Amino acid sequence: MTKVDTVVIGGGIVGLSCAYYCARRGQKVVLIERDTLESGVSTGNAGLVAFGHTPMPRPGVIKQTMRMLFDPINPLYVKPRFDLAMFKWFLDFRKACTQDRFNKCMKILTDLGWGAKECFEQIINEEMVNGEYRSVGWLDLCLTEERLKQSHAEAELMRSYGYNVESLAGDGLRRHDPAVRDEVIGGAHYHDSAIVDPGRFVSELGRCLPERGVIVRTKTEIKRILTKNDRFVAVRTTGAERIEANNLVLAAGIWTSQLAKTININIPMQAGKGYHVNLTAPKPMLTHGVVCAETFVAATPMAGTLRLAGTIEFSGINDYVVQKRLNMLQIGARKYIRGIGTSQSLSFWSGLRPCIADGLPAVGPTAQVKGVYFATGHAMMGFTLGPVTGRIISECIVDGKTEQDITLLSPDRFSRAGRG
Ligand SMILES: Cc1cc2nc3c(=O)[nH]c(=O)nc-3n(C[C@H](O)[C@H](O)[C@H](O)COP(=O)(O)OP(=O)(O)OC[C@H]3O[C@@H](n4cnc5c(N)ncnc54)[C@H](O)[C@@H]3O)c2cc1C
């Protein structure tokens, strides 16, 4: 039997960051990962550290989505199946697409973005962690007038929250990055953001944890969470080991819902599957991260290769790779970036984004079981928001409060009592 202050379940960017910040605050921490630290969605993502981000649900997105369903290189796929939880999730998503909700989410996400920037800079400056982090920002690339108008409106919106976003015509973008093709008519440069090799960052952060005193257990799965009188007491591993602690942080990505269910807590999430393909370096190589605005494909230079990442597929929790959707990444990037057509595919990957319908993650304590904290549901933004989530969780655990207003992030918003 082991006894510590805090057990963290999940060795992705969110769990690692929670363990890191709790240990920094003097806590004795055990981090449990059922596979390896590199096995979750945190390592294969696009590597855009996009400080300040819009939420998925927003006014007009349903109409846009319906149009996309008829597009042959549609970045969205919903597998037709009878699934009540998924149906309910889509209804909640639709409900969240109001201007009022969008404004509330924007306020929180842009605040979190500044905290995220601070956390990345602090980790990089104070630890032997770098992950090829480069503060070059990312470029939004548009081919059509219709999308360019939206890009400029979005840039204006982000400027109103204090972010440094430059709206540019095609030539301006090409001056920043000569790998941008002539067909691109304009877009924006998000200067505050950065790019990173997420796999390297996760491995390096994982390596620095033991130096901070964290016990890291990989290849160990948590099957049971033990409670007594509505208080967390211990977890039991598949090897039947009991680990007692005062606090439990559930940071198990898309699998958090299943763990929460074992203690009767409802965290409704759907898996948003995405893919990446790593290509041999095209000439000229991109020097920034980019997002191809019409096709939603992200491209990032990474370890001498070019990573294309994107698509969102709601088909449940599985790791099937649909070749047609994987091919869409190259098709979707070709018109925006030079040399994609002649680059060779080196490797591919799929991963599951933990998506909550209302566009915000679940971060903070639950009143339903004392001593339990949630850190999950970051969907498209989880790599960027992982470290700041860890800092917030450590403040909640150690100080019993946090500077950041996390009311709307409460994991209790899905319970009957939480909904009021
Ligand atoms: C194609 C794609 C591109 C993306 N691009 C970006 C981007 O550019 N920028 C960005 O900010 N975000 C991006 N994201 C989103 C981001 O990757 C995720 O939001 C984030 O990585 C989620 O991290 P996590 O730690 O919550 O989950 P994970 O990384 O999945 O970690 C959860 C871990 O918990 C472990 N686990 C589960 N159950 C148990 C258990 N019972 N016991 C022990 N361990 C358990 C799992 O094995 C897993 O390792 C992208 C995602 C995709 C798919």
Cβ of 363 less than 6 Å from ligand 1:
no
Burial class (CB in 10 A: 0-12, 13-18, 19+), 151: buried
What pLDDT is stored for residue 325 in this prediction? 87
User: What's the CA gap between 378 and 386, in Å, rounded?
Assistant: 8
Residue whose CB lies within 8 A of the most ligand 1 atoms, among 18, 42, 224, for a mutation test:
42
Q: Do residues 5 and 269 touch, judged by C-beta distance below 8 A?
A: no
3-state secondary structure of 389: helix
Q: Which atom of ligand 1 is nearest to the CA of 378?
A: 19
Measured over the CA atoms of residue 109, residue 130, residue 121 and residue 302, the dihedral's sign is negative
Residue with the smallest CA separation from ligand 1 atom 3 is: 45
Domain 60-91+138-191+270-355 = CATH 3.30.9.10: yes
Cβ of 75 less than 6 Å from ligand 1:
no
284: preceding bond cis by omega (within 30 degrees): yes
Residue with the smallest CA separation from ligand 1 atom 15 is: 380
User: What's the CA gap between 6 and 390, in Å, rounded?
Assistant: 13
What is the DSSP code string of 327-377?
HHHHHHHHTTBTTGGGPPEEEEEEEEEEE-TTSS-EEEE-SSSBTEEEEE-
Residue with the smallest CA separation from ligand 1 atom 30 is: 40
Cβ of 309 less than 6 Å from ligand 1:
yes
What pLDDT is stored for residue 71 in this prediction? 62
Long-range CB contact pairs, 98-105, < 8 A, 24+: 98/59, 99/59, 101/57, 101/358, 101/359, 102/54, 102/55, 102/57, 102/58, 102/59, 104/408, 105/54, 105/55, 105/57, 105/358, 105/359, 105/360, 105/408
- Widest CA span of the chain, in angstroms? 65
Residue with the smallest CA separation from ligand 1 atom 4 is: 45
Residue 146 C-alpha to ligand 1 middle, in angstroms?
33
What pLDDT is stored for residue 206 in this prediction? 97
Residue 412 C-alpha to ligand 1 middle, in angstroms?
22
**CATH code reported for the domain at 2-43+201-268+359-419:** 3.50.50.60
Residue 253 C-alpha to ligand 1 middle, in angstroms?
5
Cβ of 365 less than 6 Å from ligand 1:
no
What pLDDT is stored for residue 420 in this prediction? 53
Cβ of 42 less than 6 Å from ligand 1:
yes
Cβ of 194 less than 6 Å from ligand 1:
no
Residue 333, both tokens? 């990037």
| CB neighbours of residue 155 within 10 Å | 20
Residue 167 C-alpha to ligand 1 middle, in angstroms?
31
Q: Do residues 291 and 298 touch, judged by C-beta distance below 8 A?
A: yes
Residue 45, both tokens? 């993502």
Residue with the smallest CA separation from ligand 1 atom 2 is: 45
Residue 351 C-alpha to ligand 1 middle, in angstroms?
8
Residue 181 C-alpha to ligand 1 middle, in angstroms?
32
Q: How far is CA 83 from CA 76, 179, 241, in A?
A: 18, 44, 35
| Topology agreement, domain 2-43+201-268+359-419 and domain 60-91+138-191+270-355 | no
**Where in the chain are the domains?**
2-43+201-268+359-419, 60-91+138-191+270-355
CA angle, residues 168, 174, 175, in degrees to nearest 5: 85
Residue 111, both tokens? 């605040």
pLDDT in tens, the chain (420 residues): 789 999 999 999 999 999 999 999 999 999 999 999 999 999 999 999 999 889 999 998 888 777 766 565 677 888 888 889 999 999 999 999 999 999 999 999 999 999 999 999 999 999 989 999 999 999 999 999 999 999 999 999 999 999 999 999 999 999 999 999 999 999 999 999 999 999 999 999 999 999 999 999 999 999 899 999 999 999 999 988 999 999 999 999 999 999 999 999 999 999 999 999 999 999 999 999 999 999 999 999 999 999 999 999 998 999 999 888 899 999 999 999 999 999 999 999 999 999 999 999 999 999 999 999 999 999 999 999 999 999 999 999 999 999 999 999 999 999 876 665
* Strands 297-302 vs 305-314: parallel, antiparallel or unpaired: antiparallel
Backbone angles phi, psi at 361, to 5 degrees: -75, 170
| CB neighbours of residue 203 within 10 Å | 18
Q: Which atom of ligand 1 is nearest to the CA of 42?
A: 21
